[in-house]
Amino acid sequence: MAIRPIIRMGNPILRLKADAVKPEHADSLVSIIPDMIATMRDAGGVGLAAPQIGISLRLMVFEVPASRATNLNGDKPSGVQVLINPDVSPATPEKELGWEGCLSIPELRGEVSRYKQINYTGFNGEGRPIEAFAAGFHARVVQHEIDHLDGILYPDRMIDLTRFGYVDEFAKIQEQNFSPDTDNKDGRANG
């Protein structure tokens, strides 16, 4: 396992639609997946997509910490999950606003509209099919990471750019009821 550098907004790799993982990539995944998990955890994130470490493949890792899960159906705490060649669809048309951060956009947060409930499919690290339902924070993390695989960064999804800024600035005005969720004060809650 190695900690890999995380590329930041401005690097063109983050704007590419990542390539599907194919059988010929299997050998390289043996080292990439543990490196991604180690990198995500070292950076204090809850998700990381392969393009964020400079690898344009449809591969992501994520977890739902107990501190972030609502414990409602589809939003339970989970350990690290690997998702290869994921696809996502809304389970309902309902969306909600929520604060997001990103390891590729350090120290910044923004309020993003996402589907409240989703269905997603893909393959796990052993190549077995996954079909899952997610809600709440779990759904938000999956959508955020899949966006990375499609060359989309969370500011692209923002409706109101006045709700985008540095975490430390939001903390200064928290008492004015304008700050993001500050469970992770360094702004790296998502991948």
The CATH number that applies at residue 38 is 3.90.45.10
Domain that holds residue 30: 12-176
How far apart CA 120 and CA 96 sit, in angstroms, is 18
Three-class SS state of 98 = strand
User: Residue 107 domain-assigned?
Assistant: yes
| 89 to 114, 135, 173: CA distances (angstroms) | 11, 12, 36
Output DSSP code: residue 31: H
Tell whether 2 is covered by a domain: no
Identify whether the C-beta of residue 8 lies closer than 8 Å to the C-beta of residue 44.
Answer: no
Q: If you count them, how many residues does the chain have?
A: 191
Domain count, the chain: 1
Please indicate, yes or no, if residue 18 is contained in any of the structural domains.
yes
- Whether residue 45 is contained in a domain is answered as yes
Residue 118 identity (one-letter amino acid): I
Q: Which of 63, 100, 111, 145 is catalytic?
A: 145
Q: CA 35 from chain center: how many Å?
A: 16
For residue 175, what pLDDT is reported?
58
Residue in this structure with the two tokens 């779990």, named with its chain if needed: 138
Q: How do residues 136-145 score in pLDDT, each as one tens digit?
A: 999 999 999 9
> Residues of the chain whose pLDDT is less than 70?
175-191
- Is 72 within a domain? yes
The answer to the question of residue 92 being in a domain is yes
Query: What per-residue confidence (pLDDT) applies to 134?
Result: 96
Biggest distance spanned by C-alpha atoms of the chain:
54
Residue of 62, 66, 74 lying closest to 115 (CA atoms): 74
For residue 26, what are its two tokens? 């299997």
Instruction: Please count the other Cβ atoms lying within 10 Å of the Cβ belonging to residue 68.
Output: 20
Residue 34's SS3 state is helix
Within a domain: 30 = yes
The answer to whether residue 187 sits within a structural domain is no
Q: Which two tokens stand for residue 46?
A: 């809850």
Query: For residue 113, what are the β-bridge partners?
Result: 97
Annotation says 145 is catalytic: yes
